[in-house]
Amino acid sequence: MQGKRVLITGGNSGIGLVAACELAAAGAEVILACRDSDKTRQALEVIGAGAEIAPVNLAVDLASLASVRELAATFLARYDRLDVLINNAGIMPAEQEITEDGFEMQMAVNHLSHFLLTHLLLDCLKVSAPARIVNVSSMMHKKGEMDLATFTGFHKYKMQAAYSQSKLANMMFTVELAERLNGSGVTVNALHPGAVATDIVRSFPWLVRKIVGLLFISPEKGAKTTMMLASDPELEGVSGKYYDQCKLAGYSPVADDNLQRDAFWAASTKAVGL
């Protein structure tokens, strides 16, 4: 990763932090896209301890499309190249929340913010080709259904169903974008990191968080697939695929349904104002 520049959302904790540390240690210039917080400042210290190039954070609130636009503008004003974009950040709130833009929080943060950010940085990625986009999805996407009406909220909110749908959105985005980027030198792939113990479960009851910590794999193991898709030279040119814990895997047939994918793309484009 010598000479490579990487932008990663949610790189201040969990698998994002581990991936950021390893990429920085491998010589990459790592730029976080996280809230400006003590946690982020501490993450920068941890990443910087093993980095050849000091990491920085470009502050963003992924629940705000205006903030995402500001992030992209700030990045493009400072940098003329981007080798790897890792759309890593994700949330799973126990209760339904609606963003300032009027969207259900999981769909907004897990999909729409990354959909917008990726599009705003696409030209930069293209001029940096060969470049890579890595979308952190989940095996839960296979249980998801795409109901475009729920972009603005569920009549009856079920945390797991909303999460599965947002992760299905990651997969549908990956497949469609790969087709659109064919021949551009920019690849895009999605992954399931494994059942990882991270603070995505921070809104869960204490006992559930304790059980998750005991049964799930560590962020260090969970970050392996992200690292592979971001850096493995053997994957240069590979695009539109889904990897489950470093192994090529099948994904939901919904992502290969052209009619559903076209409608989903149109709805996403309209939602973020592109």
Phi-psi region of 244 (alpha: psi -120 to 50; beta: other; left: phi over 0): beta
3-state secondary structure of 29: strand
C-alpha–C-alpha distance, residues 97 and 109, integer Å: 11
Contact 23, 30 (CB under 8 A): yes
> Kindly report the CA angle at 193 between 187 and 194, in degrees rounded to 5?
150
DSSP states along 50-90: T-SS--EE----TT-HHHHHHHHHHHHHH-S--SEEEE---
Among residues 79, 157, 163, 242, which one is catalytic?
163
- Is residue 163 part of the annotated active site? The answer reads yes
C-alpha–C-alpha distance, residues 92 and 74, integer Å: 28
CA distances in angstroms from 6 to 48, 98, 103, 107, 214, listed in the order given: 14, 30, 28, 24, 32
CA 158 to the chain's CA centroid: 22
Q: Which residues are catalytic?
A: 163
